[in-house]
């Protein structure tokens, strides 16, 4: 276990900062080549040294969330961590989140839609129950995408750490470790990790899985759009969103073709 921050402190015991708004445009090809063999700790450290207080992290407190959370705060203990609470998470997720927030002393930033679940259902019906891409995308826009965009704006984020892994979907296999989504840089420290790497990290640091792991879940989101993996599933992401789509909308597509790919359950 890392015992102290890898980020240098100044003489007053505070993190060294600079004005992240003056950050120059990065040459992503060169940066990805330079950091292609860097381990996850090094990539987080590079991110903080580059973006300073402009870097944030997101978490959904999913099955293996404890690993990424622990790794990041081992490097930057007070990292702002955005949690988009849809209002539809399982009871177990809320309890798991509280356990990790307390245990890891997380600097959590909770964001929710300004439209309550009750109001949304009154106006649009139970969007999450419809086996229709347009309905599911509207649900994601209201409950996830809008709060996330607001969080990035209010926190003045210039870089976003996310726990995506290449083995999760074919789309994610083609991602770079550092990219740009709109005007925000995205950093994926554990992109190359597989399930065994996650297991070894959690074991080494005595970190828990989400309690749904023992019920056969390999991924978990809202209570109404997640289910355990079965023998008939060809991909673990088929257990989300009725098997109609594999991305929730936070990792926005850059092209129409990519959007169609993300909505496909046969990635």
**Which among 152, 181, 189, 150 has a CA at the least distance from the CA of 55?**
152
Indicate if the pLDDT at residue 131 is higher than 70: yes
- Say if CB 142 and CB 112 are below 8 A apart: no
Q: What is the mean pLDDT of residues 213-223?
A: 84
The tokens for 234 are 């060809």
Q: Is 77 exposed, middle or buried (0-12, 13-18, 19+ CB in 10 A)?
A: middle
- pLDDT tens, residue by residue, 164-185: 887 666 656 668 899 988 789 9
- Say if CB 60 and CB 24 are below 8 A apart: no
pTM, two decimals, is 0.79
HEC states along 128-176? HHCCCHHHHHHHHHHHHHHHHHHHHHHCCCCEEECCCCHHHCHHHHCCC
Average pLDDT, the chain: 81
Sheet holding 80-84, edge to edge: 107-111, 80-84, 55-59, 159-161, 184-187, 178-181
Sign for the CA dihedral angle at 147, 52, 7, 250 comes to positive
CA atoms within 13 A on the CB side of 84: 23
The CA distance from 93 to 79, in Å, is 21
H/E stretch holding 84 reads: strand 80-84
What pLDDT is attached to residue 227? Answer: 72
- pLDDT tens, residue by residue, 228-240: 666 665 666 565 6
- Say if CB 57 and CB 72 are below 8 A apart: yes
The CA distance from 207 to 96, in Å, is 12
What pLDDT is attached to residue 257? Answer: 40
What pLDDT is attached to residue 2? Answer: 34
What is the bridge-based pairing of β-strands 184-187 and 55-59? unpaired
**Which among 68, 32, 79, 45 has a CA at the least distance from the CA of 168?**
68
Q: What is the mean pLDDT of residues 79-102?
A: 97
- pLDDT tens, residue by residue, 13-55: 333 434 445 566 899 999 999 998 999 999 999 999 999 999 9
Report, as residue numbers or ranges, the catalytic residues. 248
Indicate if the pLDDT at residue 129 is higher than 70: yes
Rg (CA), the chain: 18
Comparing 21 with 261, the larger pLDDT belongs to 21
For the chain, list the domains and their CATH numbers. 26-262 (3.40.50.620)
What is the bridge-based pairing of β-strands 107-111 and 159-161? unpaired
Residue 242 — very low, low, confident or very high, per pLDDT cuts 50/70/90?
low
- pLDDT tens, residue by residue, 57-88: 999 999 989 999 999 999 999 999 999 999 99
SS3 37: coil
Indicate if the pLDDT at residue 260 is higher than 70: no
The CA distance from 211 to 255, in Å, is 36
Indicate if the pLDDT at residue 194 is higher than 70: yes
């Amino acid at each position: 276990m890392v015992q102290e921050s890898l980020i240098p402190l100044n003489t007053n015991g505070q993190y060294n900062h600079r004005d992240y708004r003056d950050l120059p445009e990065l040459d992503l090809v060169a940066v990805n080549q330079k950091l292609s063999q860097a381990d996850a700790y090094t990539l987080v450290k590079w991110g903080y040294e580059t973006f300073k207080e402009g870097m944030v992290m997101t978490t959904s407190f999913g099955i293996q969330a404890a690993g990424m959370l622990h790794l990041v705060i081992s490097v930057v203990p007070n990292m702002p961590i955005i949690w988009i609470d849809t209002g539809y998470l399982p009871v177990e997720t809320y309890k798991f989140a509280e356990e990790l927030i307390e245990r890891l002393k997380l600097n959590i930033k909770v964001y929710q839609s300004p439209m309550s679940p009750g109001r949304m259902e009154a106006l649009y019906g139970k969007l999450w129950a419809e086996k229709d891409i347009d309905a599911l995308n509207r649900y994601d826009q209201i409950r996830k995408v809008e709060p996330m965009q607001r969080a990035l704006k209010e926190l003045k984020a210039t870089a976003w750490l996310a726990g995506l892994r290449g083995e999760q979907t074919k789309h994610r296999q083609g991602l770079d470790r550092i990219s740009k989504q709109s005007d925000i840089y995205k950093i994926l420290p554990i992109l190359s990790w597989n399930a065994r790497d996650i297991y070894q990290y959690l074991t080494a640091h005595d970190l828990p899985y989400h309690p749904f792991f023992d019920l056969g879940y390999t991924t978990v989101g809202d209570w109404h759009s997640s289910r355990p993996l079965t023998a008939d599933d060809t991909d673990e992401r088929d257990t989300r969103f009725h098997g109609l789509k594999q991305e929730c909308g936070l990792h926005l597509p850059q092209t129409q073709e990519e959007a169609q790919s993300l909505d496909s359950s046969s990635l």
